[in-house]
Chain A
Amino acid sequence: MSAAPKRRPFDAGSAAYLALNLLLVAFLLAPIAIVVVFALNPTPYISFPPVGVSLRWFQKFFAGSDFMNALALSLWVALCVLVLSVVIGGACALALARGRLPGRTFLTAFFMSPLMLPAILTGLALFQSYLLAGIGRPVWGLIMAHTLVAVPYVLRTTLAVLHNFDHRIEEAAAALGASPTRVFFEVTLPLIRPGVFAGGVFAFIVSFDQFPVSLFLVMPKNETLPVVLFNYMKFDLDGAIAAASMVSILLALSVVLALERLIGLKAYVKL
Chain B
Amino acid sequence: MISRRSMLRTGASLAAAATVGTPAISHAQTKTLKITTWGGKWGDIMKATVLPVFEKEFKCTVSADQAFPFMPKLQASAKNDPLYDVFHTNSNEQWSALTEGLVMDKFTTKEVPNVADVHPWSVSDKIVGVAIFTSAIGLGYRTDKGLTPPKSWKDLADPKLAGARGGYLIPVNSLGQCHLMMLGKVYGKGLQDLDAAYKALEQLKPIKLVDFTGQMEKMLLSGEVSEGVIHDSGVYRYEGQNQPVDFASPSEGVMALEQVLNVPPGSKVKELAYAYIDYMLRPDVQKLLAEGVWYSPANKKVKLDAKYDAKLLTRPEKVATLIQPDWKWYNARKDDIDARVTKILKG
Contacts and interface: CB of A to CB of B under 8 A. Distances in A.
Direct contact of A and B (CB under 8 A): yes
A264 interface: no
A216 B73 contact: yes
B78 A237 contact: no
Interface stretch (A82-90, A124-132, A158-166, A249-257): A124-132
B221 A45 contact: yes
Contacts of B218: 44-46, 237
Query: SS class of chain B's interface: helix, strand, loop or mixed?
Result: mixed
A233 to B, nearest CB: 7
Contacts of B214: 233-237
Contacts of B41: 235-236
A216 B76 contact: yes
B38 A45 contact: no
A192 interface: no
A124 B76 contact: yes
B254 to A, nearest CB: 21
A232 B44 CA distance: 11
B39 interface: yes
A127 B77 CA distance: 9
A223 B64 CA distance: 12
Contacts of A230: 67-68
Given A43-B222, A216-B72, A231-B39, A131 B78 contact: yes
A220 B63 contact: yes
Interface in B50-68: 63-68
Contacts of A128: 76-77
B215 A237 contact: yes
Contact of A234 (B39, B83, B219): B39
Contacts of A219: 63
Contacts of B77: 128, 131
Contacts of B152: none
Contact of A235 (B43, B67, B73): B43
Interface in A108-124: 124
Contacts of A237: 212, 214-215, 218
A267 B237 CA distance: 57
A235 B221 contact: no
A215 B71 CA distance: 12
Nearest to B211: A234
Given A131-B78, A235-B41, A215 B67 contact: yes
